Structure 1
Amino acid sequence: MKSELIEDLVATAADYSPDAIFLVNEHGRIRHVSPACEDIFGYSPGDFVDQFIIDFVVPADQDATRQEAKEVLAGRKRVGFENRYRHRNGEDVYVTWSARWLEHERLRVGVARDVTALRRRQAAPPALLSVLARHERKVLELLLTDANEKQIAERLGLAASTTHSYITGIFRKYGVRGRAGLMSLWLKQFSNGIGIAQSDGR
């Protein structure tokens, strides 16, 4: 197989990957991003190119991110570094990275996986989840991302009607009218560290 064909296949695979792939030069300026960045961060690839990647990082995570970048530039392959980026809608996105330095190309390649739903679920007060059945919790994880109802159904392998029924049930159990209300409730409980059962008992 010719090397040009292999390169084309690799590029095609990157375009269809659910993870965002970044190419960043030694000065921290973005040279290329894969299409998945728009699903994860809300920005189109064109919004990223020629910008400094550190400018998209949540300020509290910038120092650690700069230190991690130095490790990569030193030629060390890095896996599992986690930081937060600011989504275009203003929310924080948690991503975990695999990165390495490409000496010949003078670029560092980083693969970013969105773990926001996982982090929110892990940080949630237990009482907030206790009112949900197992299948509803899986739907909730995706409701707390940008996935629409159709995408949630596809990712979980559910019928559209079943997914809609689960979502309606989640809204009813939390006493909210829609997704905006759910997010508001979730963020409030997360910031206060207080579960629904605790707040109802006051």
Structure 2
Amino acid sequence: MGNEIGKDRAEFADHMLDAMFLVDTSGRIQYVSAACEGILGYTPKEITGQSIIDLVVQDDRDRTLVEAREVMAGKKRIGFENRYRHKDGNAVHIMWSAGWLQSERMRVGVARDVTALRKKSVVELGLAFSPVPLAPHEQKVLQLLLTDASEKQIAQRLGLAVSTTHSYVTTIFRKFGVRGRAGLMSLWLENLSRER
């Protein structure tokens, strides 16, 4: 097998929705399955031979290197999460299962994109910041307030009148004790950083 994966195994791996990586002892990607493009935006050809740590978001690099050493020491790891830089510049939250393939002296890792789950948990975490409970429609409006959608777009997406949406937005700001969207975002980020 050396530094190449067999053709049959590569075809099998390319049908997985999660990306499979083989990384050598120097941290260079020797193989990555086709799912990488859907997760990180890079084709396997673009990142094969690159240092995998260069794809990791700067703030997550130290703990990622510690995790890599654990795997290389022979520990099987499941559930480690870190963030990678997508080709478009956005952060992608990845959950790993990884092990050490002693015969090839490579880390074998399966990467699952959990970005959508993290975004959902951020909204759920934020709902806990409200000093009073939010009604179901307020919760839906709040989720869209955390995006770049205008009030008119929020109204359209939720099938509400613009005036009704504005009323929900005003109530949400009052409940969170902020004057506008910037204050809401600032509060959200401040509380989120405390939870990390």
TM-score, scaled to structure 2: 0.65
Q: Which amino acid aligns with 1:131?
A: H
What residue number does 2:81 align with?
82
Q: How many residue pairs align between the two structures?
A: 149
Deviation of the 1:103 alpha carbon:
0.7
Equivalent runs, 1:29-48 vs 2, <5 Å = 29-48=28-47
Deviation of the 1:190 alpha carbon:
5.5
One of 169, 172, 176 as aligned partner of 2:157:
169
Closer/same/farther in 2, CA of residues 106 and 130 from structure 1, 3 Å limit: same
Structure 2 CA distance for aligned equivalents of residues 129 and 37 of structure 1? 39
Unaligned runs of 5+ in 2: 1-5, 148-155, 167-180, 190-196
- Of all paired residues, the percent bearing the same amino acid is 47
Assess if the C-alpha contact under 8 Å between 1:78 and 1:98 holds in 2: yes
* 1:131 corresponds to 2:137: yes
User: Runs of 4+ in structure 1 displaced over 2 angstroms?
Assistant: 7-13, 125-134, 168-175, 186-192
Assess if the C-alpha contact under 8 Å between 1:123 and 1:190 holds in 2: no
Equivalent runs, 1:1-202 vs 2, <5 Å = 10-124=9-123, 125-126=126-127, 130-131=136-137, 169-170=157-158, 192-193=187-188
SS in 2 for 1:12: helix
Structure 2 CA distance for aligned equivalents of residues 55 and 32 of structure 1? 16
Question: What RMSD in Å do the two structures reach over aligned CA positions?
Answer: 3.3
Deviation of the 1:130 alpha carbon:
4.0
TM-score, scaled to structure 1: 0.63
Closer/same/farther in 2, CA of residues 170 and 12 from structure 1, 3 Å limit: farther
Unaligned runs of 5+ in 1: 1-6, 145-167, 176-185, 195-202
